[in-house]
Amino acid sequence: MTLIDGKALATKMQAELATKTARLKEEKGLIPGLVVILVGEDAASQVYVRNKERSALAAGFNSQVVRLPETTTEAELLDLIEKYNQDEAWHGILVQLPLPEHIDEEKVLFAISPEKDVDGFHPTNMGKLWSGHAVMVPSTPAGIMEMFKEYQVDLTGKSAVVIGRSNIVGKPMAQLLMDANATVTIAHSRTKNLAELARQADILVVAIGRGHFVTKEFVKEGAVVIDVGMNRDENGKLIGDVKFDEVAPVASMITPVPGGVGPMTITMLMEQTYEAALRNS
């Protein structure tokens, strides 16, 4: 069994990105700019935003975090997004989710210029992805594709099952796998005979949001297993959607939690900010 080390790959890619950014600054006087907007005091969001800021600064980007109070109105947030849409110094705009209940999440995500939507959630970018002309791609699936490349996982003709159908992971993951010539099934919590279906997969991507949901009964001998889950057990320990100790002996490759998919998500955000700076300069 090979452990897919997302942390090591992320470290390598971020070092390469810092070198590319320094060259871009020297040759063109261009510095990628990423602004992250955080509304409210959600504890997990605070951690994510700090990590994004740290990565942006390490890459040599201009980085700004705008922290807004819980009482910020939807109109105020939309006005702020439009300000950054118009400011050419900023190539990526990211609004940290979740938002307070009084703000329409969809309206906010749609307000971000597609050219600056480094999360890849705008319907224009989703449409480009699903029509086979991807520009901005949701970062978690993009990071998983980089892991397949790094570990030389040949996807052509393989049977892939994606458990989870979110717009953030499941659906874009399925499209990227199809683009790489895999045969893809999207499954979810209401799929009948889910374990039996998953057991047919050469590639199993699990993003269902339930701790230790996938056991060895779900996994074919020699399958590549990607665990997107980030859950807390009863002791507060971070665990994945896959019961690692049970599944690892069956799989040929598997991602750990933590240290697997998570670090790659932030890395791909930075990569897409860099690419956006190149495209829109």
Cα distance between residue 203 and residue 231, in whole Å: 22
Residues flagged as binding site for NADP(+): 164-166
96 is catalytic: yes
Cα distance between residue 67 and residue 156, in whole Å: 44
Tell me the DSSP string of the chain.
-EE--HHHHHHHHHHHHHHHHHHHHHHH----EEEEEEES--HHHHHHHHHHHHHHHHTT-EEEEEEE-TT--HHHHHHHHHHHHH-TT--EEEEPSPPPTTS-HHHHHHHS-GGG-TT--SHHHHHHHHTT--SS--HHHHHHHHHHHHTT---TT-EEEEE---TTTHHHHHHHHHHTT-EEEEE-TT-TTHHHHHTT-SEEEE----TT-B-GGG--TT-EEEE---EE-TTS-EE-SB-HHHHTTT-SEE--SSSSHHHHHHHHHHHHHHHHHHHH-
Residue among 4, 16, 233, 261 at smallest CA distance from 139? 261
Catalytic residue among 5, 14, 52, 272: 52
Catalytic residue among 119, 202, 227, 241: 119
52 is catalytic: yes
Residues flagged as binding site: 164-166
Catalytic residue among 14, 96, 175, 272: 96
14 is catalytic: no
Report whether 138 contacts 181 (CB < 8 A).
no
Cα distance between residue 214 and residue 122, in whole Å: 31
Catalytic sites, residue numbers: 52, 96, 119
